[in-house]
Amino acid sequence: MDLSIRLERSESDFIEALVRKEKWAQKIVYEEMYSDLMLLCLRYSSNNQDALDILHDGFLKVFRNIGKYKVGTSFKSWVRRIMINTSIDYYRREKRRWTEELGSAFHLSSDGENAHDKMNAQEILSGIQQLSPAYRMVFNLYVVEGYSHKEISDILGINESTSRSNLVKARSKLREILSERE
């Protein structure tokens, strides 16, 4: 997304407008990035309302912290990073609130037929949203965002082995959810 082309202004002029909290600039960012960022938030949440809450919290953080953005770097990547961190923060709050005990769930293999090959994106997203918060978070960070298990363990404050285990279980559970829909 190149906002400067749409505005016929330089990126630095546009960022300065955001720093000044000019509503027209905020509106353009919101409208231009809403769809992509809502999809990102849906991957990290269990329902549309939670995704919308994360999205709005994330946009507030973007607009509050715009002064920290370095002109010349990718604005879209900077905003995505904020949304991912907002999603992780939301997950941590939910985890504390529900104090969910995962325990030692049975070990499942990651082998088998890929049911997702026959599914559309909406069905897959719906399946991801049905995963437990812990499984969904690891799945998204590893599969969608490309983080390593080491990075995931640092971000979520879990062991690398827990990250690996949750990924295997998430894939298995997702496969089970999607195969029920066939």
Tally of structural domains, the chain: 2
* Host domain of residue 152: 115-180
The reply to whether 16 and 60 lie within a common domain is yes
Could you write out the DSSP letters of every residue in 101-170? ----PPP--S-S--GGGGS-HHHHHHHHHTS-HHHHHHHIIIIIS---HHHHHHHHT--HHHHHHHHHHH
Domain boundary among 72, 98, 124: 98
The reply to whether 50 and 84 lie within a common domain is yes
Query: By CB neighbour count within 10 A (0-12 exposed, 13-18 middle, 19+ buried), where does 116 fall?
Result: middle
pLDDT 10s digits, 42-88: 998 888 999 999 999 999 999 999 999 998 899 999 999 999 999 98
Domain boundary among 98, 133, 151: 98
CATH for 91: 1.10.1740.10
Query: Strand, helix or coil at 73?
Result: strand
Cα-Cα-Cα-Cα dihedral of 94, 97, 103, 107, to 10°?
Answer: -20
pLDDT 10s digits, 111-159: 344 444 445 677 888 888 899 989 999 998 988 888 899 999 988 889 9
The reply to whether 119 and 83 lie within a common domain is no
**Residue that the structure tokens 């946009």 belong to:** 59
- pTM for the whole structure: 0.59
In a domain, 105, yes or no: no
The reply to whether 123 and 94 lie within a common domain is no
The reply to whether 70 and 17 lie within a common domain is yes
**Dihedral angle sign, alpha carbons of residues 169, 170, 174, 177:** positive
pLDDT 10s digits, 99-113: 333 322 222 333 344
